[in-house]
A and B are shown apart, each in its own frame.
Chain A
Amino acid sequence: MTSRRREGVAGETLRFRYDGRDYEGLRGDTLAAALLANGVRAVVRSGGLGRPRGIYASWTEEPNALVQIEEPFPEPMLQATTVELYDGLVATGLGGRGRLADRPDPARYDAVHAHCDVLVVGAGPAGLAAATAAAASGARVILADDRPAAGGCLPDTGETVDGVSGTTWAAGMLAELAGRPEARVLPRTTVFGYYDDNYLVAVERREEGAASRERIWRIRARRVVLATGAHERPIAFAGNDRPGVMLAGAARAYANRYGVLAGRRAVVFTTGDGAYDAARDLAAAGVEIAAVADVRRDAHALDEALAVAGPLAGTEVLTGHVVTGVGSAPDGSVASVTVSGPSGEREIEADLLLVSGGWNPVVHLFSQSGGALRFDEELHAFVPGEAAQAVEVAGAARGVYTLAGCLEDGVATGTRAAEAAGFRVPPHPVPAAERVTALPSGRLWLVPADDYETHFVDLQREVTVADVMRATGAGLRSVEHVKRYTTAGTAHDQGKLFGVLTSAVVAHATGVEIGDLGTTTFRAPYAPVSFAALAGRDRGMLHDPVRVTSLHGWHAAHGALFENVGQWKRPWYYPRPGEDMETAVLRECRAVREGAGAMDASTLGKIDVQGPDAAEFLDRLYTNMMSTLKVGAIRYGVMCRADGMVFDDGTVMRLAEDRFLATTTTGNAAAVLDWMEEWLQTEWPSLRVYCTSVTEHWATVALAGPRSREVLAGLAPGLAVDAASFPFMTWRDAEVAGIPARVCRISFSGELAYEINVNAWDGLALWEAVVGTGVVTPYGTETMHVLRAEKGYPIIGQDTDGTVTPADLGMDWVVSKKKADFVGKRSHARADTSRPDRKHLVGLLPEDPGLLLPEGAHLVATSRLPEPPVRALGHVTSSYRSAALGRTFALALVSGGRERIGERLYVPLGGDPVPVTVTHHVLYDPEGARRDG
């Protein structure tokens, strides 16, 4: 492979492998620069059409050269133009999709939250000038730049500032910022999102050896200065996707920044002066400039501009000419360029075609911030209009294209931003640069032709002018619609090179002005961001908190399987050797119904409600009366939303005249506390009530079964446990196993049962004492569910879904008729909540007693499904095998269910619907005889 490196360029040699071949590059190269240096022109084959594609740009706007990094760690869909070369890099070209890593990523990703007075985005001439001016005021300044080195386009253009090279000047500016304790410079940091209230998000690609591979910066800035530069614009012409067709500024960048020549003999196709600077630099570096095709017809002015001694002297300038075709070599790359114009049509031999359709200010972040864009008729470009946030735009990003202008604009903007943030900026010198005057640019978006099938409007998405015309021909007028129809400007591009071009072609095809048509909406992210970076450390164990009870270690040591309930891990069941879930649960159920079982109930939400008005407060929130509860007693209660639908249920114990302890369902504890606070603060601020979550203060052991009284008596010799001394729905303070405890006589299984509450740190000792009696079987949530379902006790959130009233659940008894009002009461009197066809909670017995209905299955009226639509009468909410019933059973919400008891309904399960009989929802011990033991 011949080297395309400029003479005299040297550095540390790095070895890399691309598409299975070994190459060498230099430290400081991007992968794209190194490939060009090795003469690799066709770097990928396009995904859809299979056309060879070459490197088109020099930075994050690259559409063609997408690569998969294989080593050191697989990463898909990176742009070869932004991948910094390192020794041992292995990459392959991608036509289309990449591959995700098939092994865990060993790297760490991190996040930083930062605040500043002035955030400057972009460390080009304007950004550096703005940042140094702002920082001179003492303001907290962050300067973020997506390149490894500061200077923006200066290393690409080789221009001088203050009499020194651009890179030397930029280094000086960084040194000045380093001396400002309140200034921070973030290289390799792409600001990719601009959100409300000057909240910007950036990704930093950190250097090898840093504590993390990438970091997300979430920055809240008082003022923002966007110095994001401009992207050179492509032109749509036949064959504009051939390898060797390249943006003029990119070829200049490869020559000046990397010392790499992108070709040997070039044709330049331009609408303005900028390409001449590129051509001049390339000519000086040894590239032969065969001709310049300039769309502008004003030959006289151009001749004057070019009548200079130097590398371009004598170069043929074809005014009023355009490129109408590209001839290709066997590898598909440019071999010749056909130009036509007033002088006729000519084919010129060349391996490089430099394109410059003018410049688009990078308005992405400004547009994301809500700022308006307007079309500037002189610049032929969309520029920032009215801002919607505390943001200013400096330099090329607002259409100032000369170096001197950018430096001046940067100082002025940085000064303005710091002063708007409340700082005083001392007089700041404007760095000096050569002043040049440019001729007005021409405007050309596409070269007219009869056939637009290879006039590419988006190279990555392979959208041609013909495709856009098909879209407008189909009647699409909005550029937003055309974007979605053709995908032009999506993916990596996000409108960088191809958004405005798409607008232009749509405007051309529909005969409207581009300024009236506008652009598509710019959205975050400006450049691709990995999910790993966004996730940061919030993965694995840190993804979501895991909550465990003080008994968790015991459960795990005794083989419990766990169920996730909200963030809690709850023991699901405790299989013995050889048991599957079904046998284990049947055994646990039998143990509770026939002997005694113990369950860890610590996860139930517990809210301490105190204050002189606590009883009144609970009366207003619960459907039933809580103020009549005696100290020492417990009441089951239901809460509704104002719409009358059941929100949560639990028990309320009265600890003192002015103090209650309310329990909630495990998953709803935080929501119930929020609910209480909302009513207290927003509707009843006069009530003197304080609510405190005490869920984690207590460990709770549910002891259930006919033998539970005997077990409790043995553990708490000081406690009178007979039914008269310790009746149902009361609580007592006692010592249990020598531990201070609060014992409640409540039951969620229908059996004689207790809940023993102790300090969380005593939980394990209590549990071991209970289980250590030898007669108590540990049981998990599955058994708890079966037992409560046999009794028809609903689980809020499983048997209800926010459309269910207490009456629907058959729980009229829990709704007070005496209270003038409670939250939800008025809704229970609405016509809708007394409709006879409301869904009621009922039991279901499949006619096949071994058939376990799937939860969520629908119920229909007929044994054969009629033609759709089929009316579903309701659905199965809970379904289990019952040891006590010796069969399967289910709970269901069924339209008019209570009137259907005894009826046969059907459940479609794929084949013929299976018959089930509707029953009352209480299937076990309907008289409630067992709760007293």
Chain B
Amino acid sequence: MLLIPCPWCGPRDEAEFHYGGQAHVAYPADPAALSDEEWARYLFFRDNPKGRFAERWSHTAGCRRWFTLTRDTATGVFESEAGA
């Protein structure tokens, strides 16, 4: 079970969190201006790297805040931990 560093609560068990997928996929400013393909890219396409990945987490069983962390998907190590 991962130990996830919540920026508000500190390190907590993974079971307290919900995973939110890839980070920095912003809701388009003007969806109506996008082509079907561009909109589909926003809706359905996500990266799936082996290695560095910025991802969203929500501390649902704690402070209920959303935040972004970068994790190495191959090792499970969060960057803030690696840097500490």
A contact residues vs B (CB 8 Å cutoff): 195-197, 199, 220, 370, 388, 642-643, 674, 677-678, 681-683, 820-821, 825-827, 829-831
Contacts and interface: CB of A to CB of B under 8 A. Distances in A.
29 contacts: A196-B1, A196-B2, A196-B3, A197-B76, A199-B3, A199-B13, A220-B3, A220-B13, A370-B75, A642-B27, A642-B42, A643-B43, A674-B18, A674-B58, A674-B60, A677-B58, A678-B20, A681-B65, A682-B56, A683-B26, A683-B27, A820-B32, A821-B32, A826-B32, A826-B34, A827-B39, A829-B32, A830-B36, A830-B39
The 5 A-B pairs of least Cβ separation, nearest first, read: A826-B31, A197-B3, A681-B66, A199-B1, A196-B2
A388 B75 contact: yes
B84 interface: no
Contacts of A674: 18, 58, 60
B64 interface: yes
A643 B31 CA distance: 12
A829 B37 CA distance: 12
A683 B36 CA distance: 22
B82 interface: no
B1 A195 contact: yes
Contacts of B20: 678, 682
A829 B36 CA distance: 8
B9 to A, nearest CB: 15
Interface string B28-59: 10111010100110111000000000001010
Contact of A826 (B2, B13, B39, B58): B39
A830 B18 CA distance: 30
A674 B44 CA distance: 21
Contact of A678 (B3, B13, B66): B66
Contact of B36 (A195, A678, A820, A831): A831
A431 B36 CA distance: 74
A678 B56 CA distance: 11
A197 B31 CA distance: 41
A820 B2 CA distance: 42
A213 B81 CA distance: 38
A197 B1 contact: yes
A830 B40 contact: yes
Contacts of B14: 196
Nearest to A674: B60
Contacts of B60: 674
A826 B36 CA distance: 9
A821 B64 CA distance: 27
A370 B32 CA distance: 47
Contacts of A682: 20, 56, 66
B10 to A, nearest CB: 13
B29 to A, nearest CB: 10
A610 to B, nearest CB: 17
A857 B13 CA distance: 43
A212 B14 CA distance: 27
Contacts of A825: 31-32
A642 B76 contact: no
Given A197-B76, A388-B75, A827-B39, A677 B64 contact: yes
B70 to A, nearest CB: 16
Nearest to A677: B64
Nearest to A642: B43
A377 B39 CA distance: 58
A326 to B, nearest CB: 48
Nearest to B29: A821
Nearest to B40: A830
B46 to A, nearest CB: 13
Nearest to A821: B31
A678 B58 contact: yes
Interface in B1-26: 1-3, 13-14, 18, 20, 26
A830 B56 CA distance: 27
Contacts of B32: 820-821, 825-826, 829
Contacts of A199: 1, 3, 13
Most buried by B among A196, A643, A831: A196
A828 to B, nearest CB: 11
A197 B40 CA distance: 37
A169 to B, nearest CB: 37
Contacts of A678: 20, 58, 66
Contacts of B18: 674
Given A674-B18, A678-B20, 9 more contacts: A196-B3, A197-B2, A220-B13, A677-B66, A678-B66, A682-B20, A682-B66, A825-B32, A826-B28
A370 B60 CA distance: 28
Nearest to B30: A821
Contacts of B3: 196-197, 199, 220
A413 to B, nearest CB: 23
Nearest to B68: A682
Contacts of B30: 821
Nearest to B66: A681
Contacts of A220: 3, 13
Contacts of B75: 370, 388
Most buried by A among B28, B65, B66: B66
Contacts of B26: 683
Nearest to B14: A196
A827 B43 contact: yes
Contacts of A826: 28, 31-32, 34, 39
A881 to B, nearest CB: 41
Given A674-B60, A683-B27, A825-B31, A196 B76 contact: yes
A820 B32 CA distance: 8
Contacts of B42: 642
Contacts of B13: 199, 220
A896 B1 CA distance: 47
A197 B76 CA distance: 8
Most buried by A among B26, B27, B34, B44: B27
A825 B28 CA distance: 12
Contacts of B39: 826-827, 830
Contacts of B64: 677
Contacts of A197: 1-3, 76
Contacts of A831: 36
